[in-house]
């Protein structure tokens, strides 16, 4: 009897805690955000920089995910809008910490493989989705596109071109979102375990991780050079949205659809040019801007994590998720083998 009473009491306590978390989710959300921001700002104070050392992209993403799963979503529209804009501003800001010649040299090795991997990923993805798992055409194509280029941005660009249903878009985005979050945690650990150099890890992350946000986050977690290499190659890869959308419109015979172009990549290039040719005499300026951009990226990770919901998890069916995982394994192992052997 005592054990039954204990279990009932424990269940009631758990329910009360969950109810408290969901009822006060906006207050908790604001509290976490304030703590992150304050800790990041303390990094500018030499004597208190230790308080900001624990705030990294993976930690921020974990806090966001934990909040969303335990407390539910708070300000979902705000999260979605701000995370997208802040990511773009942060990526542009990172350009002020890069030199054009060094970036071209570091990214050159991965450019040809980027072309091969984009085409190969689309073909393999459709084979796995359509032939092996019998996933419906649009969902399979969207997952393949998101894996091949730049996650959610590619899906958002290609979706209207193939006239995908909202349900297909949701499943594809949810699949990529879940795998993208996992990648940010495991890739830096695996890179260290495999003993990858900064160059090797940056190239691998840019090829094998879906979304720009996690690529930049993983690169930042691994090291400065890895961040530069990963960002350069990933944004070059993102430009493939344009030819992919055009080819897609021909394949699906849906001409005349508007193509969404990631214009912030142009501003990223402009930032690199400014830092190389104008701010080279005052490197402190570029360093300050890129440093602020890294802090913005960390906050972005929290916003992205906090955007997760149980609805998103429920939207991911077994077969679409399996397609995403199998395709991810193929591109991860294939690209890693190429980098290490080649």
Nearest Cα residue to 74 out of 133, 28, 138: 28
Q: What number is the average pLDDT over the span 324-342? A: 89
Model confidence over 220-233: pLDDT tens digits?
A: 889 888 988 888 88
pLDDT digits 0-9 by tens, 44-67: 887 777 778 788 777 887 888 888
The mean pLDDT of 194-199, rounded to a whole number, is 93
CA distance 3 to 17: 21
Given a contact cutoff of 8 angstroms between Cβ atoms, the answer to whether 132 and 156 are in contact is no
pLDDT (0 to 100) of residue 247: 82
- pLDDT band (50, 70, 90) for residue 216: confident
pLDDT digits (tens, 9 = 90+) for 150-188: 777 788 778 777 888 767 877 787 788 788 888 888 999
Going from N- to C-terminal start, the domains of the chain cover: 1-55, 75-341
DSSP annotation string for 10-66: HHHHHHHHHHHHHHTHHHHHHHHHHHHHHHHHHTTSGGGGGGGTT--HHHHHHHHHH
Contact 146, 152 (CB under 8 A): yes
Confidence at residue 16, expressed as pLDDT on a 0 to 100 scale: 76
Question: pLDDT band at 106, cuts 50/70/90?
Answer: low
Highest mean pLDDT among 1-15, 19-33, 149-163 belongs to 19-33
CA distances from 59 to 32, 63, 64, 187, 288 (A): 12, 6, 9, 14, 23
């Amino acid at each position: 009897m005592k054990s039954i009473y204990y279990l009932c009491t424990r269940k009631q306590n758990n329910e009360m805690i969950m109810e408290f978390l969901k009822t006060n989710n906006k207050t908790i959300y604001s509290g976490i955000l304030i703590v992150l921001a304050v800790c990041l700002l303390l990094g500018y104070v030499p004597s208190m920089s230790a308080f900001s050392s624990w705030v990294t992209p993976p930690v921020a993403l974990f806090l966001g995910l934990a909040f969303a799963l335990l407390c539910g979503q708070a300000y979902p529209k705000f999260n979605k809008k701000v995370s997208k804009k802040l990511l773009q501003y942060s990526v542009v800001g990172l350009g002020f910490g890069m030199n054009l010649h060094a970036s071209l040299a570091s990214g050159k090795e991965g450019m040809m493989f980027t072309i091969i991997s984009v085409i190969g990923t689309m073909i393999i993805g459709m084979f796995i989705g359509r032939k092996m798992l019998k996933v419906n055409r649009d969902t399979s194509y969207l997952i393949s596109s998101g894996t091949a280029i730049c996650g959610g941005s590619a899906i958002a660009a290609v979706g209207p071109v193939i006239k995908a249903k909202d349900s297909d878009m949701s499943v594809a985005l949810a699949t990529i979102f879940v795998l993208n979050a996992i990648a940010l945690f495991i890739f830096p650990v695996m890179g260290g375990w495999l003993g990858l150099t900064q160059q090797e890890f940056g190239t691998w992350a840019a090829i094998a991780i879906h979304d720009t946000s996690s690529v930049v986050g993983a690169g930042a977690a691994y090291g400065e050079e890895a961040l530069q290499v990963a960002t350069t190659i990933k944004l070059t890869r993102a430009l493939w949205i344009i030819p992919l959308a055009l080819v897609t419109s021909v394949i699906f015979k849906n001409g005349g659809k508007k193509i969404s172009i990631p214009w912030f990549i142009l501003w990223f290039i402009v930032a690199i040019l400014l830092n190389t040719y104008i701010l080279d005499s005052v490197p402190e300026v570029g360093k300050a801007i890129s440093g602020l951009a890294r802090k913005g990226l960390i906050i972005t990770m929290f916003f992205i994590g906090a955007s997760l919901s149980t609805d998103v998890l429920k939207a991911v069916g077994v077969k679409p998720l399996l397609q995403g995982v199998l395709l991810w394994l193929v591109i991860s192992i294939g690209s890693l083998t190429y980098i290490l052997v080649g």
